[in-house]
Amino acid sequence: MPTHSMPTTPTSPGTTESDTTHGGSVELDRAAELLMLLEETTTEQRSHDQLEALTLAVAADLPVLLWGEPGIGKTAALTQLAASLDLPLTTVIASVHEPSDFAGLPIVGDDPATRGVPMAPPDWAVRLADAGRGLLFLDELSTAPPAVQAALLRLVLERRVGALQLPPEVRIVAAANPPSSAADGWELSAPLANRFVHLHWTHDHDVVVRGLGGTWPTTTMPTLDAEKFTTAVNFARRAVTTLLAARPALVHQLPGSQTRRGGAWPSPRSWAATVRLIAFATAASASPEVLSLLIRGSVGDGPGFELLASIDHMDLPDPETLLADPSATDLPQRGDLRQATLDAVVAAVRRRPDRDRWDAAWKVLAVAVQTGAPDLVVVPATTLATLRRDDWQIPSTIDELAGVVSVSRAADDAADRVAARPGQDRMR
C-alpha cells in the first residue's frame, strides 16, 4: 500500500528545522512588541458634550442607551468611562442570551413544595454582586428578540436578576445600532425604551483625529456642588411642573409608530428621570448643550424642546420688577429672550394700565435700545403707544425712541420693496 509523506518546509543550506521554528517565535515576539507600541496612548481633558451627558446620567443612576452606527466608538466610550470612574466593566451581549439568563434559571431544591423553586442568577450577575459595584454594559440591545427584551425589563428598572438584587453601586449602560443597520435587528419595545435615557452617539472629527494620533479624551465624575443641591432640586421640580401644568397633554404621550416607541417619549416615569437629570446638571453647572442632550434623551425632542424653552423663560426678569425700577433694568443678551422680556413688560402694563407704569415701560424700552439691537423695540413700542390715554402726556423718552422706530420701519419697508422686485431688476 503506498504511503504519503507530509510536505515539509524547505530550509536553506546549513539551517536546521529548530532554527526555523525559533525564528518564527522571534518574529511573533517582535509583532507583539509593535502591537504594544500601537496600544500605548495618552489621554487629555477635553470638552465633549456627549461624554459629559453620559457621565452625568450614570452619576444620576439612570439607565442609559447609546444609539449609533456600527464602528462609531460606543464600546470604546464605555470602556474609557469605566476606567475613568474606576468601575469594573461587565459586558453582556444581549442578543446571544436566553430570557432565562436575565429572569433567572429555575433550580429545584430538596423540598420545592414548601420552599418553592428559586430563580438562580447567571455567573456575570453573581460576579457583579460580589464586587459590590461596577458598570454593566448591555451591548447590541437592538438585536435582542422581544422575549429577551421582556426579560430585561426588571433588570433595567429594578436591578434584579432572578432572585439576586444587584448592589446600588452598579450602573447600567446599553448600546444599540439603529434597526436599519443592526444585524437581524428588532425595534425596541416601548416599555423597555421608556426605561432608558437615550443618547445619540456621533463621532467628533477632531476627537477621532487626535485619538488616532495617540491622544484620546478623558472624563471624570462630574463635580457636584453641595451648596447648589437644594436650589438644583427646587429648580428641577419647578421647571418640569411649570411646563406640565400648562401642557397637561405632555404628561403621557405614547408615540403612534413602533419606531418612535423604541426611542425617548414622555411618561410619568421619564418625567421623573428628567427631574433627576436637571437637578444633577444644575448641581454640576453643566452647559446648555449637555442639558439639552439629557432632557431630549429622556422625554424626546418635541417635549424636550418645549421644556428647554420653558426653562429659558423661567430665568427672565420679572416685568413688575422692571416697571418698579426701570433704572436698574438688566435685560437678557439673547435676542429671543430680550424680545420676550419686552413683550412681558408691555403685557403687564396692558393688564394694569396707569400713567406711572406706562412711563416706566418707555424707560425700559429706552434701556433696550441703548444696550442691544434696536429692531427688537419696534413691536413693543408700537403696542405700548396704543395703550396711551387721552390725559397722559407724551414722555420725552418717546422722542428718543421715535427715530429708532422710524428708521427700523424704513429699513423693513426697503427690504420688502427689494424682495418684491422681479429677478431681472435685482440682477441689474
212 and 65 assigned to the same domain: yes
65 and 212 assigned to the same domain: yes
On whether residue 253 sits in a domain, the answer given is: yes
Q: What is the pTM of this model?
A: 0.73
Mean pLDDT is lowest, of 110-119, 145-154, 236-245, 368-377, for 110-119
What domain count does the chain have? Answer: 3
297 and 167 assigned to the same domain: no
DSSP per residue, 15-36: --HHHHHHHHHHHHHHHHHHHH
Q: Which of 314, 347, 380 is the last residue of a domain?
A: 314
On whether residue 3 sits in a domain, the answer given is: no
pLDDT the model gives residue 98: 85
Confidence of residue 428 (pLDDT cuts 50, 70, 90): very low
Is the pLDDT score of 246 beyond 90?
Answer: no
On whether residue 263 sits in a domain, the answer given is: yes
- Note the pLDDT tens digit of each residue in 282-324: 999 999 999 999 999 999 999 999 999 889 888 788 889 999 9
Q: How many CB atoms lie within 10 A of CB 346?
A: 23
Q: Which of 186, 218, 250 is the last residue of a domain?
A: 218
On whether residue 399 sits in a domain, the answer given is: yes
Question: The C-alpha cell of 190 is what?
Answer: 416601548
347 and 265 assigned to the same domain: no
248 and 336 assigned to the same domain: no
Domain coverage including residue 253: 226-314
In the block, residue with C-alpha cell 439612570: 62
On whether residue 338 sits in a domain, the answer given is: yes
Question: The C-alpha cell of 426 is what?
Answer: 435685482
Separation CA 203–CA 197 (nearest Å) = 19
143 and 50 assigned to the same domain: yes
Q: Which CATH number goes with the domain that contains 75?
A: 3.40.50.300
Separation CA 293–CA 419 (nearest Å) = 38
Do residues 121 and 154 make contact, with C-beta atoms less than 8 angstroms apart? Answer: no
DSSP per residue, 327-367: GG----SSHHHHHHHHHHHHHHHHHS--HHHHHHHHHHHHH
E-only strand ranges, 204-299: 215-218
Mean pLDDT, the chain, whole residue set:
83
Is the pLDDT score of 361 beyond 50?
Answer: yes
On whether residue 35 sits in a domain, the answer given is: no
Q: Which of 274, 290, 314 is the last residue of a domain?
A: 314
The whole-number average pLDDT for the span 246-271 is 93
Is the pLDDT score of 78 beyond 90?
Answer: no
- Note the pLDDT tens digit of each residue in 94-148: 888 888 888 877 776 666 656 666 778 888 899 999 999 999 999 988 888 889 9
The whole-number average pLDDT for the span 245-274 is 93
pLDDT the model gives residue 398: 74
Separation CA 383–CA 350 (nearest Å) = 9
On whether residue 22 sits in a domain, the answer given is: no
- Note the pLDDT tens digit of each residue in 199-222: 998 877 887 888 888 887 776 778
Q: Which residue has the higher pLDDT, 80 or 270?
A: 270
- Please report, as a single letter, which amino acid is at residue 333: Q
80 and 139 assigned to the same domain: yes
237 and 330 assigned to the same domain: no
Question: The C-alpha cell of 47 is what?
Answer: 470638552
Do residues 258 and 268 make contact, with C-beta atoms less than 8 angstroms apart? Answer: no
